[in-house]
Amino acid sequence: MKRSGMAVVVALALGVAAGAALAQAQAKPEQLVKQRQSVMTLQGKYFGPMAAMAQGKAPYNADIVRRNAAFLDNLTRMPWDTFEPSTKDVKPSGALPAIWEQSAKFKEAASRLENEANKLYEVSRSGDEAAVKAQIGAVGKACGGCHESFRQKQ
């Protein structure tokens, strides 16, 4: 009895794993676009207040920077696997065909953001205000640099 009970548990676990793998492989293009737009929207949500502080448009708040930098560090690793060729013709999307025509350059722009956001996370924990503000600027350049080449003009 015990033994077959275990077999059922194992079979169920494998079934769940296979189901998850399948869901990943079959994600609909519309769903992928929605996911990346959601991540980008959240990047904007958490980066915006930090950019305002770096530009002197909002008072500097080290606690908010520490929290937002941690969120951003994670968010910047999320959107890239949704940029599948299957999403090329999904509308509405601000993604330009250059993403797939110059994929090495796109990946480089994505890594650049990940690296700068990770540095911001580090410096937000130990750095002084000037260093943090400078790093916020570097993150902003990484956002803008990619949008310049790979996102439709607003």
109 binds ligand HEC (CB under 6 A): yes
CB closer to ligand HEC, 30 vs 129 = 30
95 binds ligand HEC (CB under 6 A): yes
CB closer to ligand HEC, 2 vs 91 = 91
151 binds ligand HEC (CB under 6 A): yes
Min CB(12)–ligand HEC separation in Å: 37
| Dist. CA 46–CA 121, nearest whole Å | 12
* Site residue total, ligand HEC (CB under 6 A): 22
Which of 16-24, 54-62, 105-113, 120-128 is the region at the interface with ligand HEC (rule: CB under 6 A)?
Answer: 105-113
Which of 3-11, 61-69, 87-95, 126-134 is the region at the interface with ligand HEC (rule: CB under 6 A)?
Answer: 87-95
Cβ neighbours of 10 (radius 10 Å): 10
Cβ neighbours of 31 (radius 10 Å): 13
Q: With CA atoms as reference, report the closest residue to 135 among 20, 48, 50.
A: 50
Burial per residue of 34-65, b for 16 or more beta-carbon CB atoms within 10 angstroms, e otherwise: ebbbebbebbeebbebbbebbeeeeeeeeebb
146 binds ligand HEC (CB under 6 A): yes
40 binds ligand HEC (CB under 6 A): yes
Footprint of ligand HEC (CB under 6 A): 33, 36-37, 40-41, 43-44, 47, 93-95, 106, 109-110, 113, 139, 142-143, 146-147, 150-151
